[in-house]
Amino acid sequence: MSISELVCGDGFRRFEGGRITVSDDTSRPFAVVDPSKLELTVESGVKCRLVILHTQPNEMTARIGLEPDAELSVADIYLASTFAEVDVRQKERSVCRFTTVEMQSANVVYGMSLDGVGASCTSDGVFIGSGDDHCVFELTVRHNVSDCTSSSLVKGVVGGRATGEFRGLVYVAPDAQRTDAQQQSRNIESGNDAHIITKPQLEIYADDVRCSHGATVGQIDDDAVFYMRQRGLSEAEARRLQIEGFVGDITMHCPVESLKEPLTDILKTKLEKL
């Protein structure tokens, strides 16, 4: 079953975008397909999950607010080229987790504002570009108050003549003491005409903080390819397996269990075109 069919099924609560306030816990995740505008508020103490699926070229603006102690997990999946701007504001002790999967040229800009003491956010993502794709993943995390935690791990793979860009910024306001922030960008360029541009940045105005960031750009590991071929796998299969292994942990941490398998399948299909 395709992801589109899946999120239209009984396991999900479909809505058409626009404004929505979640005021009760719900085990069924919300699902919205190709929204152009989305305003979601998760009320105090409420836990919920959301799937945003992009299946056709589109522009989206999303405003998400988490009231104190709210918890939201989002799977944001781009199967078509989309310009997206996602703005998240979090109050005290709220928890927000994003898993982003970009399978096409897409320009995705996240702004996470940690506005309440003790809030935390995790933004993990993967983008895969083949052919002439241009994937952009921009993430700004603003630690506006003290005692907040943020972490992000974004993995990129590009092949063909594709370009992948990661632009990351962690901002720590002057009074945001005891901030814990991590940002990692890891990438593989497969082939000579594929390009990765990665710019993780820190802007820190407080002194009692723990912040780290890093970026790596690598090639396919030839030793690993040789090792797998020596066990009988074809070169193409060895390369694909290596990249699958590299990005697989992101999709395996997708907050919606039933999406893991179809996401892995989409990933495999995309990697075959690399």
Q: Binding of another protein at residue 216 (CB under 8 A)?
A: no
Name the phi and psi angles at 56, rounded to 5: -140, 160
Of 115 and 244, which has the nearer Cβ to another protein?
Answer: 244
Q: Which two tokens stand for residue 137?
A: 């993943």
- Work out how close the CB of 163 gets to another protein at its nearest, in angstroms, rounded to a whole number: 24
Q: Sheet harboring 71-78: ordered strands across?
A: 13-14, 30-33, 47-54, 71-78, 95-102, 120-129, 149-158, 179-189, 209-218
**What is the distance between the alpha carbons of residues 191 and 129, in angstroms, rounded to a whole number?**
12
Looking at this protein, which amino acid is placed at residue 246? Answer: F
- Work out how close the CB of 52 gets to another protein at its nearest, in angstroms, rounded to a whole number: 26
CB distance 193 to 161 below 8 Å: yes
Of 20 and 228, which has the nearer Cβ to another protein?
Answer: 228
Q: Binding of another protein at residue 185 (CB under 8 A)?
A: no
- Work out how close the CB of 235 gets to another protein at its nearest, in angstroms, rounded to a whole number: 7
- Work out how close the CB of 201 gets to another protein at its nearest, in angstroms, rounded to a whole number: 26
Residues 6+ apart with CB under 8 A from 203: 169, 170, 171, 172
**What is the distance between the alpha carbons of residues 258 and 6, in angstroms, rounded to a whole number?**
8
Q: Which stretch binds another protein (CB under 8 A): 54-62, 193-201, 209-217, 220-228?
A: 220-228
Q: Binding of another protein at residue 214 (CB under 8 A)?
A: no
Give the x/- contact pattern for another protein in 223-252, rule: CB under 8 A: xx-xxxxxxxxxx-x---xx-xxxxxx---
Q: How many residues bind another protein (CB under 8 A)?
A: 22
Residues that bind another protein (CB under 8 A): 221, 223-224, 226-235, 237, 241-242, 244-249
